Amino acid sequence: MQPKSFYITTPIYYVNDRPHIGHAYTSVACDVLARFKRLSGYKVRFLTGTDEHGQKVEKSAATAGIEPKQFVDSVSQHFRDLTALMNISNDDFIRTTEGRHIASAQALWKKMQENGHIYLGKYTGWYSVRDEAYFQESELVGGKAPTGADVEWVEEPSYFFDLSKWQDKLLAFYEANPDFISPPTRRNEIVSFVKGGLRDLSISRTTFRWGIPVPGDQPSPSGSGAASEKHIMYVWLDALANYLSALGYPDTQAQHYKDFWPADIHMVGKDIIRFHAVYWPAFLMAADLPLPRQVFAHGWWTIEGEKMSKSLGNVVAPAELVAEFGLDQTRWFLLREVPFGNDGNFSRERMVGVINSDLANNIGNLVQRTLSMVAKNCEGKVPDADGVARDELDMAFLNAIYVTEADTPQKVDAMYQQCRFHEILADIVAIASEANNYIDSKAPWKQKKIDERLMRATLYHLLESIRCIAIMIQPFMPDSSSKILNQLSIPMDKRNFDHLSEKHALVAGTELPPPEPVFPRFLEKGKAE
Give the one residue of 26, 76, 83, 330 binding ligand MSP; rule: CB under 6 A.
26
Examine residue 308 and tell whether it contacts ligand MSP (CB under 6 A): yes
Q: Counting contacts by CB under 6 A, is residue 183 touching ligand MSP?
A: no
> Whose Cβ is closer to ligand MSP: residue 263's or residue 466's?
263
* Contact criterion met (CB below 8 Å) for 314 and 304: yes
Dmax over CA atoms of the chain, in Å, equals: 100
Query: Which residues in the 208-267 window bind ligand MSP by CB under 6 A?
Result: 239-240, 242
Q: Which stretch binds ligand MSP (CB under 6 A): 11-19, 104-112, 168-176, 360-368?
A: 11-19
SS3 category, 233: strand
DSSP character at residue 417: H
Nearer to ligand MSP, 240 or 439 (CB): 240
The span from the CA of 204 to the CA of 188, in Å, is 30
What is the identity of the amino acid at 263?
A: A
Among 25, 159, 261, 519, which residue sits at the site for ligand MSP (rule: CB under 6 A)? 25
Among 8, 12, 88, 246, binds ligand MSP (CB under 6 A): 12
Q: How far is the CB of 14 from ligand MSP (least distance, A)?
A: 4
Minimum distance of ligand MSP from residue 137's CB (angstroms):
24
Smallest gap from Cβ 82 to ligand MSP, in A, equals: 11
CB of 160 to ligand MSP, least distance (A): 20
Burial of residue 73 (CB within 10 Å: 0-12, 13-18, 19+) is: middle
51 touching ligand MSP, by CB under 6 A: yes
Gap between the Cα atoms of 412 and 403, Å rounded:
9
56-61 long-range contacts, CB within 8 A, separation 24+ = 56/14, 56/16, 56/129, 56/130, 56/132, 57/14, 57/15, 57/16, 57/210, 58/208, 58/209, 58/210, 59/129, 60/16, 61/210
Q: Total number of residues binding ligand MSP (CB under 6 A)?
A: 20
Nearer to ligand MSP by C-beta: 172 or 312? Answer: 312
Q: Which value, in Å, is the radius of gyration of the alpha carbons in the chain?
A: 27
Stretch that binds ligand MSP, among 15-23, 209-217, 372-380, 508-516 (CB under 6 A): 15-23
Cα(408)–Cα(9) distance, integer angstroms: 27
Q: How far is the CB of 308 from ligand MSP (least distance, A)?
A: 5
**Minimal CB distance residue for ligand MSP:** 269
Q: Does 47 bind ligand MSP (CB under 6 A)?
A: no
Binding mask 355-394 for ligand MSP (x = CB under 6 A): ----------------------------------------
CB of 5 to ligand MSP, least distance (A): 21
3-state secondary structure 6-39: EEEECCCEECCCCCCHHHHHHHHHHHHHHHHHHH
What dihedral do alpha carbons 439, 445, 449, 451 form, nearest 10°? 40
Q: Which of 121, 125, 262, 269 binds ligand MSP (CB under 6 A)?
A: 269
Kindly tell me which residue out of 6, 7, 13, 174 binds ligand MSP, with binding defined by CB under 6 A: 13
| End-to-end C-alpha distance for the chain, whole angstroms | 55
Question: β-strands 92-95, 152-161: how paired?
Answer: unpaired
Which residues, including other chains, have CB under 8 Å from residue 158's CB and lie 6 or more apart? 120, 121, 122, 123, 202, 203, 204, 205, 206, 231
Closest of 505, 513, 518 to residue 489, by C-alpha: 513
Q: How far is the CB of 195 from ligand MSP (least distance, A)?
A: 24
Q: Which is nearer to ligand MSP, 240 or 506 (CB)?
A: 240
Q: Which is nearer to ligand MSP, 25 or 166 (CB)?
A: 25
Residues that bind ligand MSP (CB under 6 A): 11-14, 17, 22-23, 25-26, 51, 239-240, 242, 268-269, 271-272, 300-301, 308
